[in-house]
Amino acid sequence: MNFPALYFCVLASAFGATFASLPLWRMWAVQSGLVDDPGHRKIHVQPVPLAGGLAVLTGLLLPVALGSLLAGLWPEWKATRLLGYGLAKRETEILAIFAGAVAMTLLGWLDDKYELSPPVKFAGQIAAALLVAFAGVRITLFVPSLWFSYGITVLWIVTVTNAFNFMDNMNGLCSGLGAIGAWFLGWSAASQGQYLVALLAALSCGALAGILPYNFPRASVFLGDAGSHLTGYWMAVLAILPHFHTPEQPGVWAVFSPLLILIAPLGDLVCVVWIRWRLGKPFYIGDNNHLSHRLARRGWSRPDAVLIIWLLACLGGTAGFWLGR
């Protein structure tokens, strides 16, 4: 099996795992009371299960378990041998990444269930980010300082996590942006021969796309904080993993590629925080000043507003891909 076919199989299996498991998670969420009730700044009139994040996590974990089983049965595949080599070099990092994903999902689930205070949520996000940084997944930005590397990595993961959390304000917006970001990050990694990173991107792209039939344009299930935390965390880590600058492929400007690929959630975060600061409000208190809300106030329907932002994300992703090359 060649790598393009393997990418497709991973994407399709992740999509299938999310799509197939979501009705089960939705049933569990209703029975356990994990629902989003109607209220202030909300347009739904019936409680909606917050099961999307748990289904996405299933879409990430189940294909990995099945893939590990298949790799053990057919170790002669060329792709299996190359992946085995990559995993041997980055085993600790990969384990930490998945552990962080579970931790972020659990943190978001606790917030969905008990409405955690902002300091508690930030502490949990920092802990998950530190776990990844200690495992060796770090940003350097050409600064020869370990403390700087730890600090900028934690700042990046927490920032992107909250950017996607903020963007979870319309049906399909957060998960769609995550799938688009994963697609372009995977495309960039695959074009540079970074197969393991590309497979992780394909995995997340499929897992996030698997919720969209249930979440866009009408929602029978919400992503929830569990899902938005998981999505933002995974996108932040995916953006760190590729080697955009190496001695063999020098290109200082290429390190800005992830910023363009994630321009929609990051740009919205900057604008919203700036508006809240000017109004004298805490940046973590929700409002209706997001790009999606402003598009809706200008007369666009909510699904159209989501599609416009998806288009902007695709344009930024295309620019980021070519800059990365």
Which residue's structure tokens are 């939705």?
Answer: 26
Q: What is the pLDDT of residue 296?
A: 94
Residue 220 lies in a domain: yes
Tens-place pLDDT, residues 145-154: 899 999 999 9
Residue 268 lies in a domain: no
The CA distance from 24 to 145, in Å, is: 47
Q: What is the pLDDT of residue 247?
A: 47
Q: What is the DSSP string of 41-109?
A: T---SS-EE--HHHHHHHHHHHHHHHHHHHHHH-TT-HHHHHHHHHHHHHHHHHHHHHHHHHHHHHHHH
Residue 166 lies in a domain: yes
**CB contact at 8 A, 59 and 18:** yes
Residue 306 lies in a domain: no
- Residue 169 tokens read as 């304000």
DSSP 299: T
Residue 297 lies in a domain: no
Residue 36 lies in a domain: yes
Q: What is the pLDDT of residue 285?
A: 84
The CA distance from 9 to 64, in Å, is: 12
DSSP 169: T
**CB contact at 8 A, 162 and 183:** no
Residue 41 lies in a domain: yes
How many Cα atoms sit within 13 Å of 117 on the Cβ side? Answer: 2
Tens-place pLDDT, residues 252-286: 667 788 999 999 999 999 999 999 999 988 888 88
Report the SS3 class of residue 145.
Answer: coil
Q: Which residue intervals of 210-284 are DSSP H helices? A: 212-215, 224-240, 257-261, 263-278
Residue 317 lies in a domain: no
Please report, for residues 63, 103, 113, 247, the alpha-carbon distance to residue 21 in angstroms, rounded to integers and kept in the order given.
Answer: 12, 20, 20, 44
Number of separate domains in the chain: 1
Q: What is the pLDDT along the chain (325 residues), one digit of tens a residue?
A: 467 888 999 999 999 999 999 999 999 999 999 998 876 656 655 889 999 999 999 999 999 888 777 666 655 555 555 555 556 667 889 999 999 999 999 999 999 999 999 999 999 999 999 999 999 999 987 788 899 999 999 999 999 999 999 999 999 999 999 999 999 999 999 988 888 899 999 999 999 999 999 999 999 999 999 999 999 999 999 999 876 544 455 456 677 889 999 999 999 999 999 999 999 888 888 888 999 999 999 999 999 999 999 999 999 999 999 887 6
CA angle 282, 286, 289 (to 5 degrees): 100
The CA distance from 303 to 213, in Å, is: 13
DSSP 171: T
Look at residues 112, 117, 64 and name the one whose alpha carbon lies nearest to residue 229: 112
Q: Bridge partners of 164?
A: none
DSSP 35: E
pTM, two decimal places: 0.92
Q: Containing domain of residue 167, as a range? A: 3-247
The CA distance from 245 to 235, in Å, is: 19
